[in-house]
Amino acid sequence: MAHRVFEHARNGRVRELSGYLDLGVPVNSTDSDGNSLVMLAAYHGHPRTVLALLERGADPDRANSRGQTPLAGAVFKGEREVVAALVAADADPYLGSPNALESARFFGREDLLELLEVPEVPEVPEVD
C-alpha cells in the first residue's frame, strides 16, 4: 500500500492519494529516501496534488535525506504553479541545500525569484 501512495503523489493522482489520506495515511509520510508526499508531488510538477496535501496539513518545508525541500525541488524543475502553491503555504526559501533561492539564481529563473518575494536586504554600514 505504501508504494501505491507514493506513486500516486509522484504521478499526480490527486483523487486516489486523497482517498488514502482521508482514510488515515499520514500526510507527512516519507519514503526510504526521506521524500515526503509533497516533495514527490512538487518535484514532479503536480500543483493540484501539492495543494491537496497542503490542505491536509503537509509540511511544506520538510527536507528529504539529502537536505532538499519541496520548494527547492519545484524551483529546480521550473514548476511555477507548484512554487506559487508552496510560497502561499509559507514554505521557507532559505531552507535546504541548495535552497530555493540559490537554485533560482543558479538557473537564472528570475520569474521564480519574483514568486519567492524575498526583498534584498540593504547592507548596513559598519560603525566605528
Answer yes or no: is 128 within a domain.
no
User: Of 19-33, 61-75, 114-128, where does mean pLDDT reach its minimum?
Assistant: 114-128
124 falls within a domain: no
Q: How confident is the model at residue 1 (pLDDT cuts 50, 70, 90)?
A: confident
Residue 24 in any domain: the answer is yes
- Is residue 125 a part of any domain in this protein? no
Does residue 127 belong to any structural domain of this protein?
Answer: no
Domain containing residue 51: CATH number: 1.25.40.20
What is the extent of the structural domain holding 81? 2-116
Count up the domains in the chain and report the number.
1
In a domain, 61, yes or no: yes
Residue 126: band (very low, low, confident or very high) from pLDDT cuts 50, 70, 90: confident
Residue indicated by cell numbers 491537496: 52
* Within-domain flag for 122: no
pLDDT tens per residue, range 80-95: 999 999 999 999 999 9
Q: Is residue 126 part of a domain?
A: no
